[in-house]
Amino acid sequence: MTRILRLAAAQMGPNQRADAREAILARMIALLEDAAARGARLVVFPELAFTTFFPRWLLEGAELDAYYEEAMPNPRVQPLFDRARALGVGFYVGYAERTPEGQRFNSAITTAPDGTILAKYRKVHLPGSVEPRAGDRFQQLEKRYFEYGDLGFPAFRGAAEWGAPVMGMLVCNDRRWPEAWRVYALQGVELMVMGYNSAAYDPNGGSTENEEIRSFHSTLAAQSNAYMNATWAVSVAKAGNEDGSGLIGGSVIVDPNGVIVAQARTLGDEVLVADIDLDLCRQGKEKMFNFAAHRRPEHYRRIVEQVGAEPP
């Protein structure tokens, strides 16, 4: 069985609040077709790929409800699923989920080439706030619009035709949290897939971190966590000026040494393709990061026994 998988990162440019769902889906299908034409069998889309990043707005009622998917797939996304199955391509996609019980999560799924859903993930590390910040034009209301993910970090097997890699999903801010990567690595993960919407600057005019340092942080997190967990990683942006607020690009495909093998050059719709050799993970997993030989969990207990920092 070959262990080389050709996959794609499908970076998206911005989805404006006024964009029709049909127009967004058409762009996603075009990215999928481009990737498939170049031989990719797995395509990674961003977080909240079907909509604008609506947590930047204080919304309620029907206007807010319209951003959530009540089932996956559903008629509003079916054309993407149909086209992917016809092309024999699986995909990761992030979306806002509302359950029949009314729970709301910032979720992602990965589908197989035959259209079945292999696994679902719900974002654990929600940034932002519950209450809107007075006086700010742009909010970050993820903690208001979503519950904390309740599925943990469950690794799953990718499709047999991909080489049956052990896979893990993250969403956006999760990628900066080494705990999340490590829990997947403790399940032997070989391929991490994740999408993001990350601010390029403070949209309210503050002067904290600029676009350059924010892009550096995004890339650094992907590279280092891939290296320290001996896994491939595909980290994909929704980028550009969305609703007047800037998002970084910098989508990357990173190998288990932490080396970038493909990187986006634009802030728009852009497909990156790479052949990834899943057995490249073995060097790290068997030597430097042979967990069974080298980890000392008796000294890690603070990681689970406290939440915040407690100075000496």
Contact status: 185 vs a second copy (CB under 8 A): yes
* Dist CA 182 CA 294 (whole Å): 14
Q: Spell out the alpha helix ranges (H) of the chain.
A: 21-37, 61-65, 78-87, 142-145, 178-185, 211-228, 281-286, 291-294, 302-305
Residue 143 falls in the annotated catalytic set = no
Q: Which of 136, 147, 209, 277 binds a second copy (CB under 8 A)?
A: 209
The catalytic residue among 172, 190, 270, 281 is 172
* DSSP code string of 204-256: TS--S--HHHHHHHHHHHHHHHHHHTT-EEEEEEB-EEETTEEE----EEE-T
Residue 281 falls in the annotated catalytic set = no
Please list every residue from 145 through 184 that binds a second copy, using CB under 8 A.
Answer: 148-149, 152-157, 166, 173, 176-183
Residue 166 CB, nearest approach to a second copy (Å): 5
Are 38 and 275 spatial neighbours (Cβ–Cβ below 8 Å)? no
Contact status: 120 vs a second copy (CB under 8 A): no
Does the bond joining 79 to the residue before it have cis omega, within 30 degrees of 0?
no
Please identify, among the stretches 35-43, 80-88, 272-280, 296-304, the one whose residues bind a second copy according to the rule CB under 8 A.
296-304
Contact status: 196 vs a second copy (CB under 8 A): no
Q: Which of 99, 103, 116, 283 binds a second copy (CB under 8 A)?
A: 283
Report the residue number, 63 or 179, with the smaller CB distance to a second copy.
Answer: 179
Please list every residue from 240 through 259 that binds a second copy, using CB under 8 A.
Answer: 257-259
Residue 110 CB, nearest approach to a second copy (Å): 14
C-alpha distances (whole Å) from 82 to each of 20, 72, 76, 119, 295 are 19, 13, 12, 18, 45
Contact status: 115 vs a second copy (CB under 8 A): no
Residue with tokens 């794609």, as numbered in its chain: 8
- Provide the 3-class DSSP secondary structure of residue 119: strand
Q: Which of 75, 102, 205, 308 binds a second copy (CB under 8 A)?
A: 308
* Dist CA 231 CA 223 (whole Å): 10
The catalytic residue among 123, 142, 242, 285 is 123
Residue 120 falls in the annotated catalytic set = no
* Dist CA 287 CA 90 (whole Å): 32
Report the residue number, 74 or 290, with the smaller CB distance to a second copy.
Answer: 290
CA angle in degrees (0–180, nearest 5) for 66-140-48 = 45
Beta pairing partners, 235: 194, 252
Residues serving a catalytic function are 47, 123, 172
Which residues of the chain form contacts with a second copy (CB under 8 A)?
A: 124-127, 148-149, 152-157, 166, 173, 176-183, 185-188, 208-209, 213, 216-217, 220-221, 223-225, 227-228, 257-259, 283, 285, 287-297, 299-312
